[in-house]
Amino acid sequence: DAKTTQPNSMESNEEEPVHLPCNHSTISGTDYIHWYRQLPSQGPEYVIHGLTSNVNNRMASLAIAEDRKSSTLILHRATLRDAAVYYCILSNFGNEKLTFGTGTRLTIIP
């Protein structure tokens, strides 16, 4: 199964953009890239997903490298409410389960 690697923790200042990296060097051509986040005392929350092209939604943007071996979740303007653990997950046919790793703990500095 393709694995993802994320930094354990990151800090960012409030109202600045945040770039959360994810490496997935063994990704297959059919793997989708998903991002979820988990705020304190809450269940995980879907953020965004993509396959090959960059994706945007109201929460974030997903930038996928051309070789797809890495991706970056972009929060355009961080708020204190964005402090959470962010998970980068791969799935594809035959391995559809969302396998959560340890994620990146994002701290927002006021």
Residues that bind other proteins (CB under 8 A): 32, 36, 41-46, 49, 91-93, 96-102
Q: Which CB sits closer to other proteins, 46 or 76? A: 46
Residue 58: phi and psi, rounded to 5, are -70, -20
Q: Which CB sits closer to other proteins, 18 or 90? A: 90
Q: In Å, what is the CA distance from 42 to each residue of 7, 39, 69, 72? A: 21, 5, 30, 23
| Smallest distance from other proteins to CB 13, Å | 28
Half-sphere exposure of 28 (CA within 13 A, CB side): 10
Q: Which CB sits closer to other proteins, 41 or 53? A: 41
